[in-house]
Chains A and B, each alone.
Chain A
C-alpha cells in the first residue's frame, strides 16, 4: 500500500494512504488513551482540527471517519472545557424562559454560522440555536437530534455558547413534555403491575427446554402495524 506524509502536531509521519486519522495515529506509534472512543462516529471522542496545504480554512472532522490527505496538519481536541448546568428536568417548563435562565449566552448568538461549519455531523447548528431563541423547542430538538457532543461547535463559537448542551436540553424537554403521548403504553404498564402475565410467565419459566421450544416454533409471526 502507498504511503502519504502527514503532520501530527507539526511532526511529519508517513502513514498508509487511505487510512483514517485514527488508524494513522496508531500506525505512527501513538497509543491512544484520549481522543479515541467508539471509532464509528457516535461518541464524539475523536474531534480533530486540521489544515490542508495552500488552504486558509481550519477544517474539522472526526478522526475515526476522516481519511488522511497529503501534507495535512492535524491535532486532536479530545476535551472541551464546558460547564453542564445542573437542573432537575421534572421541575422545568418547556419554554424559552428555561434557556434564558440556564443558558443565557444562547441569546448572544451572532448568527455567524461558524458552529454549523465546524460540525462533523453536518448539523445546522446555528439553525437550532436560532430556533431556541424563537422558542421553537421542537425544531431545535429535531435539528440537533444527531449531535454527538464532540464539542467542536463550542470550541469555535465567538459568542461562547455551548451548543451541544443546549441541544440536549431542548431534546429532553421535547421528549418529556412536548412529544405526543400514546395511550396504550399506560395500559400495558398497568397490566404488568396488576400481574396479568405472572401466571403464564411462571408456567413458561418452569417448562422444560423442549416444551418451550415447541411453544416457540408454534408461535405465529405477525408484523402488522398496530
Chain B
C-alpha cells in the first residue's frame, strides 16, 4: 500500500493509462526516441558521471594522470593489507595450474573450461561459491537467436549503447560466441523460456533494435549460476573451491609474471599463499562502493577487490571513469531502496511516467540515457514523486503489462519482482512501482584483449572486472553474456597457457614499489584496500569499539 500523500498522483497514473495503452497497442513508439544530439545533452547535464566531483586524477600506478571515478581513485591510492616481509614465498601452501580469483559466473565458467584443457584449478572466493552479481541478474542474456536478427545487428546495438568506445574485437567475440553459449548452457540443463515449438522467447531491452533477450523468468542469473555451480562442484578432484578466502594481493615472480595470490581466511584470519602458473581475476564490480552516495543493486561483496590487486601489480585499467546507474531501482518502500527493478519490466511494456501520469521518455533508451532522463524529470522539471524520507522517483507503470499481454503475464514472467514488492505490501500487478536510478554496473575495468589477456604475463580477466567490452555503457543482457563468453575464453586460454609457463622466484616486491610510489606522490592516507566488505557499522558503534583496530572495513 502506498501512503495517502501519493494517492493523488496514483490516480493520475490510472487516468492516463487507457490512452497510453492505446498507443502501445497500436504498435507505435509510445514516446519519440532521442536523437544523437538530445542524448548528448541529457547525459552531459544529468548523468552523475558528468558532475564536477565525479572524477579525479589518480596519482599512482599504470593509469597515473588519468581521470577516474573518485571513489575508485581513493581505493587505488590506499595501502596494502599485508606486510610483504612476513611471507615465506619459498613455501606456498598451495600450488595449482590455474588460480581463479572470484567464484561468480565468470569464475565458475573459467574453472570448467580450464579443467577441460587439463588444468588443475583453485577458485578463491570471498564469500560462498556463487555469491556474486551473476546470481542476481534478472532480465536476461542477449543472443541473436531470431532469423531477422544477426551478430551484426547485435554488434551495432552494443557499440551504440557504449557510445562507440567499446573495443571492437571484444564486441565481436561477444556477439559471435553468444548463440553457441545459449546452446552450451542448455546442454548443461539451463531452462530458458521457450515457446511450445522450442523457439526461445525473446524480449526487447533498452538500446536493442531487436528482441534479443533470452530469459529464465526473472531468475535468469540464478538459473544459470546454480547450474554452473553444480557443475563446478561435480569435479572436486580437479577444481578446489576455497570459500571465505578472498585474494588480497597477487604474487609475482622475478621475471615480472603474475604467479599466484595471497589469500586471507575471513573466518580464522590466517593468510596463505597460492602459487599458480596462470591467474584469472573474476571478482566482478564495485557497486558496494556506493559511488556518489547512490544505493546499489549489487551483491554485498561487490567491492572491486580484483581491480585493486591487479592495479598494484601493474595491470592497466580502461574506462574506470564510467559508472552505470540502472534507471529503475526501487525508491519506495525505503527497506528495498536501490533494489533492482529488472529492465525486463520495461521490455514487457511497462512505461515510466511522471507525477501527473505523463510519458516523458522512450521507455527503452540505453540505460545511461534513460537514467539521465529520469533524473531530469525529477530534478529539473520537478515532476517526480517525493517520499517522506526526502527521496524522489518516477512511476514505472507495471499494471499495463497485463493489459497488453493478458492477465497473469506479470505473475508468470516476473515472479521475483512480484515477490519482492509483495513482501512490503505492494502489488505490482495493479499498482506501479516508484523508481529512481541506482548504482548498477562497473562499465570499465582491467583492460583485456579477446583472449582475456592483460598487459601482465599470465594474468587473465573476465566478467565485470574487465574493461572494454561495453565501452562506457553496457546494454541490458550483455553482462550475463559477457561473463559466459569471456569466462569461457579466459578458462581456455589460461588453461592452455598454464602448460607452458615456467615460473621464476616468487616475490611481493611490487607491493613495496607501490608503497614507495604512494609516498613519492605525497599521498598520506590510512585507507587500506581491497576493502573486502562494505562498511555499514554505525559511527556510534565504532566510537564505542575502543580496542578495535580497523584494517579497511574489517576489525
Binding site for B on A (CB under 8 A): 18-20, 23, 26-29, 31-34, 36-43, 45, 65-67, 84, 86-90, 121-122, 141, 145-146, 148-149, 168, 171-176, 179-185, 188-189, 192, 197, 200-201, 204-206, 209, 212-213, 215-217, 219-226
Within 8 A of A (CB), among B525-553: 533, 536-538, 541, 545, 553
- Whether the pair A171, B128 counts as a contact (CB closer than 8 A) is no
Shortest CB distance A5–B (Å)? 17
Q: Which of B59-67, B189-197, B456-464 contacts A (4 or more CB under 8 A)?
A: B189-197
Residues of B near A212 (CB, < 8 A) are 156, 159, 164
Q: How large is the interface on B (under 10, 10 to 19, 20 to 34, 35 or more residues)?
A: 35 or more
- When C-beta atoms are compared, the residue in chain B nearest to A84 turns out to be B233
- Whether the pair B168, A205 counts as a contact (CB closer than 8 A) is yes
Number of A-B contacts (CB under 8 A): 223
- Whether the pair B222, A42 counts as a contact (CB closer than 8 A) is yes
Type the 1/0 row for B203-216, where 1 means its CB is closer than 8 Å to any CB of A. Answer: 01000011100001
Residues of A near B555 (CB, < 8 A) are 31
- Whether the pair A41, B300 counts as a contact (CB closer than 8 A) is no
Residue from B152, B182, B197, B297 having most chain A Cβ neighbours under 10 A: B152
Q: A40-B136, A40-B297 are in contact. Are A217 and B36 (CB under 8 A)?
A: yes
Shortest beta-carbon contacts, A-B, top 3: A172-B189, A180-B198, A182-B198
- Whether the pair A43, B151 counts as a contact (CB closer than 8 A) is no
Q: A42-B219, A205-B172 are in contact. Are A192 and B209 (CB under 8 A)?
A: no
Binding site for A on B (CB under 8 A): 33, 36, 127-128, 130-131, 133, 135-136, 144-148, 150-153, 155-157, 159-160, 164-165, 168-169, 172, 175-176, 179-180, 182-183, 186-192, 194-200, 202, 204, 209-211, 216-217, 219, 221-223, 226-227, 230-231, 233-234, 236, 244, 266-267, 297, 299-301, 334-336, 339-340, 415-416, 419-420, 423-424, 533, 536-538, 541, 545, 553-555
- Whether the pair A168, B339 counts as a contact (CB closer than 8 A) is no
Q: A38-B299, A145-B217, A172-B230 are in contact. Are A216 and B183 (CB under 8 A)?
A: no
- When C-beta atoms are compared, the residue in chain B nearest to A19 turns out to be B335
Residues of A near B209 (CB, < 8 A) are 219-222
- Whether the pair A149, B226 counts as a contact (CB closer than 8 A) is yes
- Whether the pair A226, B541 counts as a contact (CB closer than 8 A) is no
Shortest CB distance A70–B (Å)? 17
**Measured CA separation A224–B191 after assembly (Å):** 23
Residues of B near A121 (CB, < 8 A) are 419
Q: A41-B416, A89-B189 are in contact. Are A33 and B533 (CB under 8 A)?
A: yes
Q: Which listed residue (A149, A179, A209) contacts B191, Cβ 8 A?
A: A179
**Measured CA separation A215–B10 after assembly (Å):** 41
- Whether the pair A40, B340 counts as a contact (CB closer than 8 A) is yes
- Whether the pair B533, A141 counts as a contact (CB closer than 8 A) is no
Q: Which listed residue (A32, A122, A197) contacts B176, Cβ 8 A?
A: A197
**Measured CA separation A126–B150 after assembly (Å):** 44
- When C-beta atoms are compared, the residue in chain B nearest to A18 turns out to be B335
**Measured CA separation A201–B135 after assembly (Å):** 32
Shortest CB distance B31–A (Å)? 13
Q: Which listed residue (B130, B217, B236, B537) contacts A43, Cβ 8 A?
A: B130
